[in-house]
Amino acid sequence: MLDLNDIAVFVQVVRHGSFAEAGRRLGLPPNTVSRRIQQLEAQLGTRLLQRSTRKLTLTGAGQAFHERCAEAVDGLVEAGQALITGSQEPSGRVRVAATADFFDFFPMEWVADFLAAYPLVRVEFVLSDARADLIADQIDIAFRGGALPDSGYVARQLLGPRTDGLVASPAYLAARGTPATLRDLADHDCVTPAHPSGRTTWRLTGPEGKEEEVQVGGRFGANTAQALRKAALAGLGIALLPPAMGRADVEAGRLVPVLPQYQRTGHGLSVVYPSRKHLPLAVSAFIGVVTQRLREEEALPDVWRARKT
């Protein structure tokens, strides 16, 4: 197999007309340049250059070979320079996996600010409640809530655990009454993630720090937290939601806390990426911006607790 470095040396020799000048440009001694050309000629089985004490002249084979190789060598050099430049300034594509309702809670303005700050970066979002395969789907970053399996990926926790609380609409409580104990929930409609059995077990921590369980069910189920919130607003039942999701509704009177002495401690939000090695600057910059913004507004991302991307 031909050595591409020898071909690059040959192109430089032809371009600059001598071994000495090509060596100066490449940072190589002239005798090394001459030896590299001899190696290339030996591999090709033909002479590329006629040498004399005064000048170098291309043979017919050398002329044809140079015409085929010069543009390709220049292209490789330009590609390398582009990578070097790109390694100094964030550039290229950042592909992000997140939940289907990600932008209900992650302000699009954050993305706009990021793109304005880094004009050479393009961001693509893959929004789905199914767990993304980072390698197969060419994902640079995935936002994940809940316990993280040992996948071999790099995970960085953005926010620590939060506590979910029970809420319901005033209309629902007026029609069905307000539960007085945890066990009363079994006789109420509760909106929960869809499950084939129609029943879900809620594990809640009471005022004395003891965890208790109650099986609940209802006539409405959904696989996104936003859908559960909207179901609670519509009076379809009692929902277990992150406080950030229901805070505005509670303050406006659209939702009412139920059994506020009981809460569920959920997992925080993590960002996951395939490898720490050679992390592109664009990916690192995006992670940095998200980390800063989420910590500034910690109330926003609680929706991801116990969620999977």
pLDDT digits (tens, 9 = 90+) for 196-232: 777 889 999 888 888 899 999 999 998 778 889 999 9
pLDDT digits (tens, 9 = 90+) for 92-138: 889 999 888 788 777 899 999 999 999 999 999 998 877 778 877 88
Residue with structure tokens 């040396």?
9
Domain segments of the chain as ranges: 4-81, 92-161+267-304, 163-265
pLDDT digits (tens, 9 = 90+) for 126-185: 988 777 788 778 888 998 766 566 556 777 777 666 678 899 999 999 999 999 999 999
Q: Which fold has domain 4-81?
A: Arc Repressor Mutant, subunit A (1.10.10)
pLDDT digits (tens, 9 = 90+) for 1-52: 778 889 889 988 888 888 888 888 888 898 999 999 999 999 999 999 988 7
Task: Round to whole Å and give the CA distance between 226 and 304.
Answer: 10
| 247 or 238, higher pLDDT | 238
90 three-class SS: coil
Question: Does pLDDT of 303 surpass 50?
Answer: no
82 three-class SS: helix
Question: Does pLDDT of 304 surpass 60?
Answer: no
- What pTM was computed for the model? 0.53
CA distances (Å), 176 to each of 109, 180, 220, in order?
41, 12, 16
Beta bridge partners of 95: 124
Residue with structure tokens 């002329």?
63
CATH number for the domain formed by residue range(s) 163-265: 3.40.190.290
Residue 132 DSSP class: P
Reported in sequence order, the residue ranges of the chain that DSSP labels E, i.e. its strands, are: 49-51, 56-58, 92-98, 121-127, 141-145, 154-159, 163-168, 190-191, 199-205, 211-217, 238-241, 256-258, 264-265, 269-273
165 and 240 in contact (C-beta within 8 Å)?
yes
CATH number for the domain formed by residue range(s) 92-161+267-304: 3.40.190.10
Task: Round to whole Å and give the CA distance between 205 and 163.
Answer: 10
- Work out the average pLDDT over 246-272: 85
Task: Round to whole Å and give the CA distance between 216 and 32.
Answer: 80
Task: Round to whole Å and give the CA distance between 245 and 215.
Answer: 23
